[in-house]
Amino acid sequence: MTALTAAVTAAYPVLIYFGLRQGVPTRWFALGLLALAALRWGRPLARKLPIPLLLAIAAAVAALAWFRSAASVLYYPVAVNLALLVVFAASLASPPTVIERLARLRHPDLDAHGVRYTRKVTVVWCGFFLLNAAAAAATALAGNQAVWALYNGFLAYLLMGALFLGEWLVRRKVMAARQA
């Protein structure tokens, strides 16, 4: 199920683009997102969030399902980037950071230098999510579905991959210099 939800989530911009071209009502996309989210995160999320917040989220998604505007489904990438920004930024205020937690999976004995480094990387990812949300919003506001699909379905992933690869290369260099 995790692989399926990851594949559908990654393909979302392409599915939206072709679906809107074929005249699929936007409510079906929103309902599909709600079903996908429920399958992927339903139980674990329900155990961690207060019931009123869960109901508010469900109500917001249900309302989105009934909007007839194509624009309503174009803002999903904006919401995802802003949600990731909140998660990463919150981890800066309440350590360990998201990146530190990931680093500790491979290096459980991360030293103080490593903690500082992962904090800086978390800040970089916060900047990325903010800029990516702005770019996603700009493509949604532009009204050109082909540009929206190109950016959100390809270029955003390419940029994310480039940041991930760049950070990995920098980390290797930093680790090699510290070991020398």
Tokens, residue 56 = 């508010």
Tokens of 75: 């803002």
Beta strands in the chain (DSSP E): none
CB-CB contact of 125 with 163 (8 Å): yes
d(CA 180, CA 178): 6
Buried b (16+ CB within 10 A) or exposed e, 76-92: bbbebbbebbeebbebe
Q: What is the pLDDT along the chain (180 residues), one digit of tens a residue?
A: 567 767 777 777 887 788 878 887 766 776 676 677 666 666 565 566 555 555 666 666 666 656 556 566 788 788 888 888 888 998 999 999 999 999 999 889 999 999 999 999 999 999 999 999 999 999 999 988 899 999 999 999 999 999 999 999 998 888 888 887
* The predicted structure's pLDDT at residue 11: 78
Longest dimension (CA), the chain: 61
- What's the CA gap between 9 and 110, in Å, rounded? 32
How far apart are alpha carbons 25 and 76 in whole angstroms? Answer: 16
Helix and strand totals (H; E) in the chain = 9, 0
pTM, rounded to two decimals:
0.73
